[in-house]
Amino acid sequence: MSISITFYGAAQGVTGSRHVLDVDGTKILFDCGMFQGRRQESRERNSAFPIDPKTIYNMVLTHAHIDHSGALPILIREGFEGHIYCTRATADLAKIMLRDSGNIQERDAEHLNKKRKSHARKEGKKTPKNLVEPIYTVKDAEACDSFFFPVSYDQEFDVAPGITVQLTDQGHIIGSASAHVTIKRPGKKDVRVVFSGDLGRPNMPILRDPVPYPPCEYILTESTYGDRLHEPIGDMEAQLVEVLKETKKRGGRLIIPAFSVGRTQNIIYFLQSIFSRGEIEPIPTYVDSPLSKKATKVYFNHPECFDKETLAFLKKEDEDRMSNFHYVESVDESKALNDMPNPMIIITSSGMCEAGRILHHLKRTVEDPKNVICIVGYMAEHTLGRRIRKKEKNIRIFGQEYELNAGVVTMNGFSAHGDQAGIIHSLEHLKDTLKKVILIHGEETQSLPLKEKLEDEGHKNVEIAKLFSTIVLED
Ligand SMILES: [Zn+2]
């Protein structure tokens, strides 16, 4: 029996997770993520699916983040006929995130076409024929709904004849899982393969800790922070208190750019906890992102994914606690925040300050030293978020230059990914059974040091997956 895995994304990089397990010609896809990077390359890599989706028997989705789910509308548009197995929370979350992504693709194409048309007009030419199509639309995203096949954590299910899968909690975002595959072989021992999905961290607010992997012969593990150690999450609340005090002292507003799913809910949780303890008088807090509102609703609909502390916290009768938090939906409401009195907190997307409502809030606040910008997430190179984090004196927003006079505070402890110590710890108990560790979902600056470290720890066979390559597990 031949068993192999081919990597169509998130190999030597972090985005576009798509891994195909092939057992004697039966193909199971694990994750179907969107590639994110430079605009042109992203368009090319996302526009068509790298293999014929009709040849995929079924697929398993580890969690709803777009770099793991964002290419589902393309997979389905191109003829995939199987099930998308995932947890219930992941299915609910993916549905809203894919619609949001479809909307972004439509607006993106509109924007590009507008630019092309106005360029043609300036040159005195006719409207160009080669207008771009969105990579996918909201309608394409909606077409995915009936393909989801939700399963419970720990429930074993058949993903193909002779191949079972079990999902366990990964503590990364709500509904996140690692997938444990068992392949039955007549007259031989079963082969067990684990797909890590994104590994979470213990002691994170709201979510349960990652469940240890079961014994297996092969594991594909993420390596996003294979060469980094995070600050403890426990220190973040105290740091946030200091930021709130500083905002009050300055008398301005606190702007927090945050991803709508995961990070925003964590920040809200910490703020609620600080305000309900009475340590600081509550500051009106506005969550300015329609996607955040929808995602937060999904969180509340899935108490089966929460840890004990969160459940207890939610049960506590404390109606005042929520009255301080407001969700902003329409653009007009968002603009109206401008004229509201300080102090206030605005939590808004995008997380890296590249698009969306954050730009409007920054434009109005960066020049006033009374305000504070709090960076709570990863800021990629060449993004506005990175420039603010570096406290560059002059920054550009919507093509116009602004002086950065507001205070800037960076908090590094919020990451939802396990760090180097976390990854090593997650594999520690598997040394006896593992035949191979395959590193995926990491830049080489992270996966190479992790490979060395794992070898130092006694793991004998550690391999970094290469994009578009195949690793044969058994033949
Ligand atoms: Zn993720």
Ligand 1 center–CA 414 separation, angstroms:
13
Average pLDDT of span 43-72: 93
CA of 91 to the centre of ligand 1 (A): 14
List, in order of start, the domains of the chain with CATH numbers: 3-228+416-474 (3.60.15.10), 233-410 (3.40.50.10890)
Quote the ligand 1 centre to 204 CA distance (angstroms).
15
**How far away, in angstroms, is 251 Cα from ligand 1 center?**
36
62 CA → ligand 1 middle, Å: 9
- pLDDT digits 0-9 by tens, 175-205: 999 999 999 999 999 999 999 999 999 988 8
Q: How far, in Å, is the centroid of ligand 1 from the Cα of 365?
A: 31
pLDDT(7) > 60? yes
Tell me if 442 sits within 8 A of 453, measured CB to CB: no
**Entry pTM:** 0.89
Q: Ligand 1 centroid to 66 CA: how many Å? A: 8
Closest Cα partner for 371 from 252, 281, 471?
252
The larger pLDDT score, comparing residue 289 to residue 405, is at 405
Q: Which of 198, 226, 196, 167 is nearest to 12 (CA)?
A: 226
Distance 275 CA to ligand 1 centre (A): 29
What values do phi and psi take at 361, rounded to 5? -70, -40
Phi, psi of 428 (to 5 degrees): -50, -50
Per DSSP, the three-state class of 409 is: strand
Ligand 1 centroid to residue 397 C-alpha, Å: 28
**Could you report the per-residue pLDDT of 236-255, keeping only the tens digit for each?**
999 999 999 999 999 999 99
Instruction: Tell me the pLDDT tens digit for each residue of 365-388.
Output: 999 999 999 999 878 777 899 899
How far, in Å, CA of 413 to CA of 457, rounded? Answer: 26
pLDDT on residue 315: 60
Cα distances (angstroms) measured from residue 295 to each of 98, 300, 325, 356: 12, 9, 15, 17
15 has a pLDDT exceeding 90 = no
CA 383–ligand 1 middle distance (angstroms): 20
Going from the C-alpha of 287 to that of each of 31, 32, 194, 330, 333, the distances in angstroms are 30, 29, 37, 12, 11
Tell how far the Cα of 215 is from the centroid of ligand 1, in angstroms: 23
Output the CA 221–ligand 1 centroid distance in Å.
Answer: 13
Distance 417 CA to ligand 1 centre (A): 8
pLDDT at 317 over 70: no
% pLDDT > 70, the chain:
97
Residue 322 banded pLDDT, cuts 50, 70, 90: low
Is 244:283 a contact under the CB 8 Å cutoff?
Answer: yes
| Mean pLDDT within 264-283 | 89
Q: How far is the CA of 126 from the centre of ligand 1 (A)?
A: 44
Q: Find all residues with CB under 8 Å of 315, minimum gap 6, and list them.
A: none
Residues with C-beta atoms within 5 A of ion ligand 1: 65, 198
The CA 172 to ligand 1 mean position distance, Å, reads 7
pLDDT attached to residue 314: 64
pLDDT above 90: percentage of residues in the chain: 67
